[in-house]
Structure 1
Amino acid sequence: MKKYLAGLMLALMLVGCSDPRLDASSEEAFEASLEKVVADMDDNERQLFTEALMIVMLTGITRDDVAAAQSGNMDELSSPFDHLDGLTADDVIERAGEIREAQAR
């Protein structure tokens, strides 16, 4: 029983120490989680993250989104945040690097 409790406490400590993640469940949740993600960043880190975030968000725009916007069907647009759900700042920067690399080919 003590081993079980010790393992549970260790797991809870590790979860509490993890990097903040983006929450794309709603626009409000995304904005709140974004503030947590950038809270401890210096100016250089924040700029790198912001550029990476824009790359990843813009890459998530589909042809269907463009068509819906052109026809005025704004309700049919997909959320630009969905594919960011659960990502850390490092995940976003890594994904942006992958996108840049794929576009360079």
Structure 2
Amino acid sequence: MRNKSMLIPFIVLLVLGCSEPKIDASSDQAMATSIEEVRQSLTPDQQLHFDDAVQVLAFSQQSLEEFLKEGASSIITTRGQMKDVLNGKTGREVIEEAERLKRERK
């Protein structure tokens, strides 16, 4: 019985350790670090798609009209929106979201 009770925490740790890393946008430093961790977890081919996808998602939050209307304060809003769109996503999810945005724009 004791062996079974020790097996459960081991399985939980194993499952948590094998999950894909996610972007943490709680701060600029956490976001930069976690983006790099997510990137490193991908294959070289996926890394290229991920790099492009991050840019697509980041720029999708920018609006020239808002910038012209609100000025520099819109940059702070855009930064927050960029964090929101990336936060909690895995590399695969970032790539999928960027592909969805590209399809919508066509």
Decide: shared fold, TM above 0.5. Answer: yes
2:101 matches 1:73: no
C-alpha contact (below 8 Å) 1:65/1:76 kept by paired residues: no
In 1, the alpha carbon distance for the partners of 2:47 and 2:65 equals 31
Q: CA RMSD in A?
A: 2.6
State the shift of 1:8 in Å.
4.1
Q: Matches of residues 75-90 of structure 1 in structure 2 within 5 Å?
A: 76-78=76-78, 79=80, 80-90=82-92
Structure 2 length as normaliser, TM-score?
Answer: 0.76
Structure 2 counterpart SS, 1:81: helix
CA distance in 2, matches of 1:54, 1:32: 16
Instruction: Determine which structure has the larger helix proportion and give its number.
Output: 2
Q: CA deviation at 1:39?
A: 1.7
Cα 1:10–1:83, aligned 2, differ >3 Å: closer, same or farther? same
More deviation, 77-86/19-28: 77-86
Residue 104 of structure 2 corresponds to residue 102 of structure 1: yes
- Cα distance change of structure 1 residues 17 and 54 upon mapping to structure 2, 3 Å threshold: same
Separation in 2, partners of 1:21, 1:54:
17
Cα distance in 2, alignment partners of residues 101 and 38 from structure 1: 23
Aligned pairs (5 A) from 1:14-93:
14-61=15-62, 66=67, 67-68=69-70, 70=71, 72-73=72-73, 76-78=76-78, 79=80, 80-93=82-95
Structure 1's consecutive aligned runs of 4 or more residues displaced over 6 angstroms after TM superposition are: none
CA positional deviation for 1:42: 4.4
Give the fraction of aligned pairs with identical amino acids, expressed as a percent: 25
Amino acid at match of 1:90: R
Any unmatched runs of 5+ in structure 2? none
Q: 1:98 corresponds to which letter in structure 2?
A: R
Give 1:61 shift: 2.9
Structure 1, unmatched stretches of 5+, are: none
From the superposition, tell whether residues 45 and 5 of structure 1 become closer, same or farther in structure 2 (CA, over 3 Å).
same
